[in-house]
Homo-oligomer: A and B are copies of this chain.
Amino acid sequence: MPSYKLIYFDGRGFAEPARMLFHLAEVPFEDVRIPFEELMPGKQSEGFLEMKDKTPFGKFPVLSIDGFDIPQSSAIIRYLAKKFGYAGKTPEEQAWADAIVDQFKDYMESFRQFIYAQRGGKPEEEVKKIHNEVFGPVKETFLRELERILKKNRSGYLVGAGLTWADLVIADHLHTLENLKELEVKSLEEYKERIYSLPELRDYIQGRPQREM
């Protein structure tokens, strides 16, 4: 079996669905968690800067497979999902999972804008404006799309009849929204809870480091 190393910051963020996939597939991996302090300019250690410099795009997460590095979270998670059987059962299901994750990536542009404003020390009024005029409307649209997809698909999963990586990406972000008190859609709370309660995920989720996002 190849030796896997997943390198990311010490949060859930863009890497958590990859961690979940390793646990789902019961495949051992090295879970390298970089302290968030390394993100602060001027506070970065030499070891971190050296590691960052060696990544393909100077960004994390990176998945290292026997020394071969894959950057970009979606590429990493899709790769593992294919290996472990969670990418979708047909080419059409795979494309649909891809599309949902790309739509999520588009939505994340406004989520990031809000979080950066909130955590970056912008004046409260500006944060509120970004929340109400940028993030809020984009979030509402995206959550409505998720609701519609789930309602139409009926299996309780986003794609086809079973769990795909799209469920892991979405459910884990819904948990983040929940933590931020930004998820007020009952059917999506239930969906997230259903994914989080899957017997093959439950223990991992209960035992993992608890992080706000």
- Using a CB–CB distance below 8 Å, which chain A residues touch chain B? 56-57, 65, 68, 70-76, 78-79, 82-83, 91-92, 94-96, 98-99, 102-103, 105, 109, 145
Contact = CB atoms under 8 A, between A and B. Distances in A.
Given A57-B103, A79-B98, 10 more contacts: A57-B99, A65-B92, A68-B92, A71-B103, A72-B98, A75-B98, A79-B92, A83-B91, A105-B105, A109-B109
B95 A76 contact: yes
Counted per complex, copies of this chain come to 2
Contacts of A94: 79, 82
Interface residue SS majority, chain A: helix
B109 A95 contact: no
A74 B102 contact: yes
A99 B82 contact: no
Contact of A78 (B70, B71, B73, B95): B95
A91 B79 CA distance: 7
B57 A70 contact: no
A130 to B, nearest CB: 15
Nearest to A79: B95
**Residue among A68, A92, A95 having the largest count of chain B Cβ atoms under 10 Å:** A95
A114 to B, nearest CB: 15
Given A57-B145, A79-B94, A95-B78, A72 B109 contact: no
